[in-house]
Structure 1
Amino acid sequence: MNDLNDLLYFVSVVRHNGFTAAARATSIEKSRLSRRVAELEKRLGVRLLQRSTRSISLTEAGERFYERCVATVEEAEAAYDSVANLRKEPVGIVRVSCPLILAQTYLAPILPAYMASHPKVKLVIEATDREVNLIDERFDLALCARPQIGSAAGLVAKKLGIAQRILVAGHDYLRSKGTPTVPTDLPNFDTLGRSADIYDGSARWDLINRSGVRLEVNHSPRLISNDLRLQLEAAVGGIGIALLPEPIVAATIRARLLERVLPEWSATAHIIHLLYPSPRGMLPSVRSVIDYFMIHLPIGIQERSVVADAFRILS
């Protein structure tokens, strides 16, 4: 089998005009260079170099062979350099998976500052609500929101914060229809729901209170939509009561466009966390994104929080 290292040895000897100079430049023993070039000539069946005590020169066969070899060696050197550059500073593409709501509410406000300070990094954000396989789908990291951080082989999980889905409604609706005082009142009110809330043909909310008591509440939504921002606008517009994530409703509650309903109750809190493969061999570009997210996302999560941390309920 041909050893491509022999091409490098041959090119080095020609570039440095001799075995001694090539040995100094490459830190490869002169005897090794001489032996490997001789073995290369033997395999080819031709003499590549004319040797004298003080110099070398290419034969006709050597000139032809060198022209091809030097192109191969330069391509290999360029390949090594391209990877070496990735290791020196944040540069290149970083692929991130993130649920749509988290992308809109948490990532969008902080990305411009990162991009401005890392001009050589390109971000590919796939906003999707499906659970991705980081390794198989070649994502560098993923933002997730789940009741618990599950174990995943070969992945690191870092907690960023906690968010809940809470019950909200517009002021006009509550003034005209009244306010529920216990969860079992909810079936008597207009509600908004998602297709994911439908079980066996009926809409259901799984609620939990501050004492950890769980309750399943059936309701009949007037509007069913998986677009949570559409639900938000519908709730502000007075259509009914919605169960929506904190980051979506925080601003409208603070602006007094919505108010909480049954504040003692909510859906189970979701842990927002960052997933990424083992940091061994991690590129600076990926590390820079992880470090930036670990600093700025917890702040954004807290700023868009409605529920006090002391009252968050985890499963």
Structure 2
Amino acid sequence: MKSLDLNALHHFCEIVREGSLTKAAQKLNVSAPTLSRHLAQLEEQVGHKLVHRHAKQFKLTIDGERYFNSLGEDFSQLQEQISALNDRADVLSGSIRISCPESMAIDYLHDWSLEFLALHPLVDIQIKFAISDQHFVEDQLDLSLVVVPPTQPSLVQRKLFDTQMCVAAAPSYIAAKGKPNVPQDLHQLDLLTSDPQKDWSFLKDGQRHVIFPAPRYSINSIRTVVDAAVKGLGIMYGPLFYMREPLQDGRLVSLLPEFETEMRHVFMVYADRRLMPTRVRAFRSFLEEKMVVLAEGERWSGAGKSFNKVFS
């Protein structure tokens, strides 16, 4: 049997991942007839029908599923190793796929990515919103910035920095509803959160106080929660690096200052491969440098103490 064409193998894998010839063609920037021809050639070479394809249906055959699974991670690593060999440190090219929480992407990663793209015109970056590493493998990501502790043992996780949590409200809200004196008072006030399942935790005199918010307003974006708090809708509990500016300029006021607040963390996650593509390695280093600068800003101490040792 002739040696299999690596391009045909790559195209077959992309067709399966995308679930259609049309979507795969768009992603690979080739025509659908070209993909169809490569698929037919691959089927002829391996001697098996790999895909059932009709006008409105696309499904792997049993042989196709077995063949795709046999390629699996090893073929993906081979593709990345070839890409790494083709990359030159001074001329980066190719795609970088990264996920990040929406608020972090809008406030930080977006600008950082544009800066990196300006430095490397042959690179393209694709950003997906996610707060965890749950879909890292199936989304074929290169890097992920997460605020939920990583869960997949097969991935490398690196803690980039800690961020202090802070409870705060706008002066207008405090004037109308008053300040809480203890965490339990929060139950009687309007609470704002991006994650209603996550508790609000405090510590005083060695005693931990945990509040499970019943929010008046919940939206899965901490950036918009800060906006709601600044507009006087209620009290929020969130990472200091999203709240630092409104706290400094007086649009928000820190509450319960005698209670210590927990620390949460930002992690970078990536696959543990010996040959990470040069472009991904360069972007990873670029982001790490940006995070160092961001972490320095976290040392501003205007929002109370933390109890990282208790919660870490």
Whether 2:270 is the aligned partner of 1:276: answer yes
Consecutive unaligned residues of structure 2, counting only runs of 5 or more, are 5-80
Which of residues 300, 306, 310 is equivalent to 1:311?
306
Which of residues 67, 71, 95 is equivalent to 1:93?
95
DSSP 3-state at the match of 1:311: coil
Q: Is the 8 A contact 2:145 2:266 kept in 1?
A: yes
The answer to which of 122-131 and 224-233 deviates more is 224-233
Q: Which amino acid aligns with 1:129?
A: I
Compared with structure 1, are the counterparts of its residues 2 and 247 closer, same or farther at alpha carbon in structure 2 (3 Å cutoff)? closer
DSSP 3-state at the match of 2:157: strand
Whether 2:218 is the aligned partner of 1:197: answer no
Quote the Cα distance in structure 2 between the aligned partners of 1:121 and 1:158. Answer: 24
TM-fit CA distance, 1:117: 1.5
Compared with structure 1, are the counterparts of its residues 120 and 240 closer, same or farther at alpha carbon in structure 2 (3 Å cutoff)? same
What are the equivalent positions in structure 2 for 1:20-99 lying under 5 Å apart? 84-86=85-87, 89-99=91-101
Q: Which amino acid aligns with 2:138?
A: D
Compared with structure 1, are the counterparts of its residues 243 and 298 closer, same or farther at alpha carbon in structure 2 (3 Å cutoff)? same
> Where does residue 180 of structure 2 map in the other structure?
180
Compared with structure 1, are the counterparts of its residues 121 and 172 closer, same or farther at alpha carbon in structure 2 (3 Å cutoff)? same
Quote the Cα distance in structure 2 between the aligned partners of 1:84 and 1:222. Answer: 54
Quote the Cα distance in structure 2 between the aligned partners of 1:258 and 1:94. Answer: 37
Whether 2:156 is the aligned partner of 1:156: answer yes
- The percentage of aligned residue pairs carrying the same residue is 26
DSSP 3-state at the match of 1:137: coil
Count of paired positions: 232
The answer to which of 252-261 and 169-178 deviates more is 169-178
Q: Over residues 85-104 of structure 1, what are the superposed CA-to-partner deviations in whole Å (9 max), with x where a residue is unaligned?
A: 33564211011011112212
RMSD: 3.1
TM-fit CA distance, 1:212: 5.9
Quote the Cα distance in structure 1 between the aligned partners of 2:108 and 2:207. Answer: 30
What are the equivalent positions in structure 2 for 1:253-264 lying under 5 Å apart? 253-264=247-258
Q: Over residues 236-270 of structure 1, what are the superposed CA-to-partner deviations in whole Å (9 max), with x where a residue is unaligned?
A: 12222112222321111112100111134466422
TM-fit CA distance, 1:234: 2.2
> Where does residue 136 of structure 1 map in the other structure?
138
TM-fit CA distance, 1:190: 2.5
> Where does residue 145 of structure 1 map in the other structure?
147
Whether 2:110 is the aligned partner of 1:115: answer no
The answer to which of 240-249 and 250-259 deviates more is 240-249
> Where does residue 54 of structure 1 map in the other structure?
none
The higher radius of gyration belongs to 1
DSSP 3-state at the match of 1:197: coil
DSSP 3-state at the match of 1:256: coil
Quote the Cα distance in structure 2 between the aligned partners of 1:191 and 1:250. Answer: 19
TM-score under structure 2 normalisation?
0.64
Q: Is the 8 A contact 2:132 2:150 kept in 1?
A: no
Q: Which amino acid aligns with 1:192?
A: L
Q: Which amino acid aligns with 2:127?
A: I
Quote the Cα distance in structure 1 between the aligned partners of 2:152 and 2:301. Answer: 27
TM-score under structure 1 normalisation?
0.63
What are the equivalent positions in structure 2 for 1:166-245 lying under 5 Å apart? 166-194=166-194, 196-197=195-196, 205-209=199-203, 213-218=207-212, 220-245=214-239
DSSP 3-state at the match of 1:90: coil
Quote the Cα distance in structure 2 between the aligned partners of 1:283 and 1:211. Answer: 50
Quote the Cα distance in structure 2 between the aligned partners of 1:207 and 1:82. Answer: 46
Q: Is the 8 A contact 2:196 2:218 kept in 1?
A: no
Q: Is the 8 A contact 1:192 1:231 kept in 2?
A: yes
